[in-house]
């Protein structure tokens, strides 16, 4: 269905990922909304919508990637400004949801920051959330407003299946026990075997792989995870897989929030290629194969369907398989 009146739907962007917002607007066939997002000398954020948004269906794209607090405040202020400008509906489009790993009290006297962020988004005036590959799916339940949760797997799958021939399917490996469900979905899509690396976390940036469950000897391997930031989990898993006789090792992640430590680790690791999406801006790594796939079409299609009140569940389908959309018990 075409968007006949571009004034009814408007896509705006904070400063976190303007290129992705522009590509989404291009997919929808509408201009990216005109808004000023600036920072005062004292560090405060200033927002002004130059376009008239009264009575409009407004989508604000802003992943809360580093600098996380700055990007989160930008998003909250943009939502508040849109609400005060009488937008009919405001959807926060967060391809990457920062603070998602702080989703429970795993030790005494710590916050549940993922819930706090959800409260802030609702309090600021968001009517709906559109996000992708949450680190913890239960975060959807932190909101009392609708949450559309997409998966990057269909985008990654289309590329991955071009790398591996039908007679040489890779073993899909989860780099830790927590990623078993995601790895299982990829294994189902690729119709191949599954393995798991058990690990022990030493510090927030260091992990120790302990053993591999599954057979990887003389097999190509695809490591899959939702997020890599320091690349500690991925590279440690790759080393133990190599020691167990794995041949070529590739990694696929939905969100690549790569700092300097991650870049160094990837360069020194057995991983030959990292496949990720543009949910956050990704810097090239000199001397390392980094493939960035766009989720603009996926998010754009979801935005279109939300606008017209259509279902987004079919976006989970991969070659007719909807395994990612099925609830687990």
Distances, alpha carbon 35 to alpha carbons 51, 75, 82, 164, in Å: 7, 12, 10, 44
CA 143 – CA 248 distance, rounded (Å): 42
Considering Cα of 80, then 60, then 135, then 144, what sign does the dihedral take?
positive
- Choosing from 105, 199, 264, 283, which is the catalytic residue? 199
CA 237 – CA 176 distance, rounded (Å): 8
Question: What are the backbone angles phi and psi of residue 84, rounded to the nearest 5°?
Answer: -70, -20
In eight-state DSSP terms, residue 142 is G
| Known active-site residue 244 | no
For the beta carbon of residue 114, count every other beta carbon within 10 angstroms.
21
Question: What are the backbone angles phi and psi of residue 325, rounded to the nearest 5°?
Answer: -90, -10
- Strand ranges (E), 246-297: 249-256, 271-277, 289-293
CA 183 – CA 196 distance, rounded (Å): 9
Nearest to 95 by CA among 161, 18, 42: 18
Residue whose token pair is 């549940």:
112
Under 8 Å between Cβ of 151 and 134: no
Nearest to 50 by CA among 38, 33, 62: 33
DSSP string, 211-257: EEES--TT--EEEEEEEESS-HHHHHHHHHHHHTT---EEEEEEEE-
Active site residues: 199
């Amino acid at each position: 269905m075409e968007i006949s009146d571009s004034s009814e739907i408007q896509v705006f962007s904070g400063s976190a990922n303007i290129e992705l917002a522009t590509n989404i607007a291009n997919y929808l066939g509408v201009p990216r909304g005109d808004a000023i997002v600036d920072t005062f000398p004292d560090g405060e954020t200033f927002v002004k919508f130059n376009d008239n948004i009264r009575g409009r269906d407004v989508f604000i794209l802003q992943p809360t990637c580093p600098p996380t607090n700055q990007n989160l405040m930008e998003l909250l202020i943009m939502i508040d400004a849109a609400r005060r400008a009488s937008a009919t509906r405001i959807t926060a489009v967060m391809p990457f949801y920062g603070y998602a790993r702080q989703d429970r009290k795993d030790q005494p006297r710590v916050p549940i920051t993922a819930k706090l962020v959800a409260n802030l988004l609702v309090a600021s005036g968001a009517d709906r959330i559109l996000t992708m590959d949450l680190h913890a799916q239960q975060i959807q339940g932190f909101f009392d407003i609708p949450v559309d949760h997409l998966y990057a797997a269909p985008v990654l799958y289309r590329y991955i299946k071009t790398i591996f021939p039908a007679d040489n399917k890779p073993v899909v490996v989860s780099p830790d026990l927590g990623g078993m469900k995601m790895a299982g979905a990829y294994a189902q899509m690729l119709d191949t075997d599954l393995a798991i690396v058990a690990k022990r976390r030493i510090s927030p940036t260091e992990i120790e792989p302990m053993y591999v469950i599954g057979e990887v000897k003389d097999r190509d391997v695809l490591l899959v995870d939702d997020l890599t930031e320091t690349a500690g989990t991925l590279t440690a898993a790759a080393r133990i897989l190599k020691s167990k006789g794995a041949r070529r090792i590739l990694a696929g992640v939905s969100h690549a929030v790569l700092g300097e430590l991650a870049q160094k680790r990837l360069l020194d690791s057995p991983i030959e290629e990292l496949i990720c999406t543009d949910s956050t801006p990704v810097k090239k790594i000199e001397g390392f194969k980094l493939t960035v796939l766009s989720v603009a079409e996926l998010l754009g299609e979801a935005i279109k369907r939300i606008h017209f009140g259509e279902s987004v569940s079919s976006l989970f389908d991969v070659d007719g398989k909807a395994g990612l959309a099925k609830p687990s018990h």
